[in-house]
Amino acid sequence: MGTPLVIAHRGASGERPEHTRAAYDLAIAQGADFIEPDLVLSRDGVLIVRHENEIGGTTDVADHPEFAGRHTTRTVDGHTVDGWFTEDFTLAELQTLRARERLPAVRPANTAFDGREPVLTFQQVIDIAREGSRRTGRPIGVCPELKHPSHFAAAGLPMEDLFVAVLEANALTGADAPILIQCFEVGPLRRLAARIDAPLLQLMSVAGGPVDRPDLTYAAMATPAGLAAVAGYARWIGVETAMVAPDAGRAPTSLIADAHAAGLKVAAWTFRAEPAFLPPGAADLTAWLTAFRTFGLDAAFSDFPAAAVAVAAL
């Protein structure tokens, strides 16, 4: 059994507001192999790093009277969302905002860092990873997730083209590049597979299916036949933990074994320490991570990289 990789989910987001330099630097210091940025787009076509394109919950945009008129209602991937959207702001405008904790009721200690840090670009996160590699003497990869590419394409913002341009500028298109590219949609990954050699990861969840493939469910994609199809364009799958083990008291499903048989590696998301996020029967985060290590997991997305690194080293 190999040592699982640790992907710092939006940085050490259990201990610092997600997608901030502080979160990424802490994750690197804690030993993470990859830092993960969620990518959305500004109005002028710059890839920026936020959990969603709606930024009311992750920035102080509501405190900026000059942007009050940008509050709106929009349909994103079939869901009605109220708030402020990155595609309505230029990069310069977004960089006047400051990050804040997305889950203040769950992570009140993180609110002490609210208002300290700006919104980052994808390029800045690449630079943080490279600085971390130089500082620690070990490779630090980036694991970007393309958020809502179909939504942005419909808004006239070609996320895939803009993304590939950044990869090319940073020599991150090769098969051995320190990058792992994720998306819940299928089409973007298939098209990227034809353009670059960098490793791709198909995300899946317990419910629903890819927004760009209404004929397909994630449950169908997780069958042996579905996994064989995914292996035609991706090297990894990234699955919700409940797809492998719904709770701590049951034997795992065959998903990891089936994926390995198809030639795919498996990452699972998201390992969090708070009791509200732990499944029934899990004593704590360490126990839950340890169980997945015995299942043969190849990588763990965690908000608490230190815990994941400790279990990976066992």
| 51 catalytically annotated | yes
Q: Using only the alpha carbons of the chain, give its radius of gyration.
A: 19
- Which residue of the set 19, 51, 148, 151 is catalytic? 51
Residues of the chain under the 70 pLDDT cut: 1
CA distances from 149 to 22, 81, 153 (A): 27, 17, 6
- What pLDDT, on the 0 to 100 scale, is given for residue 2? 76
State the catalytic residue, choosing from 9, 19, 148, 151: 9
Predicted pLDDT of residue 1: 58
pLDDT at site 118: 98
One-letter identity of residue 81: V
**70 in a structural domain:** no
Is 19 marked active-site?
no
Residue 242 domain-assigned (yes or no): yes
CATH number at residue 307: 3.20.20.190
Q: Is 182 helix (H, G, I), strand (E, B) or coil?
A: strand
Domain that holds residue 305: 5-54+119-312
Q: Is residue 250 part of a domain?
A: yes
The pLDDT assigned to 314 comes to 87
Confirm whether 246 is domain-assigned. Answer: yes
pLDDT in tens, 196-246: 999 999 999 999 999 999 999 999 999 999 999 999 999 999 999 999 999
Instruction: Give, rounded to a whole angstrom, the gap between the first and last alpha carbons of the chain.
Output: 11
Q: Is residue 230 part of a domain?
A: yes
> Would strands 236-240 and 200-204 be described as parallel, antiparallel, or unpaired?
parallel
- pTM of the full structure: 0.97
Q: How many domains does the chain have?
A: 1
pLDDT of residue 249: 82
Q: Is residue 59 part of a domain?
A: no
- Does the residue 183 lie in any domain? yes
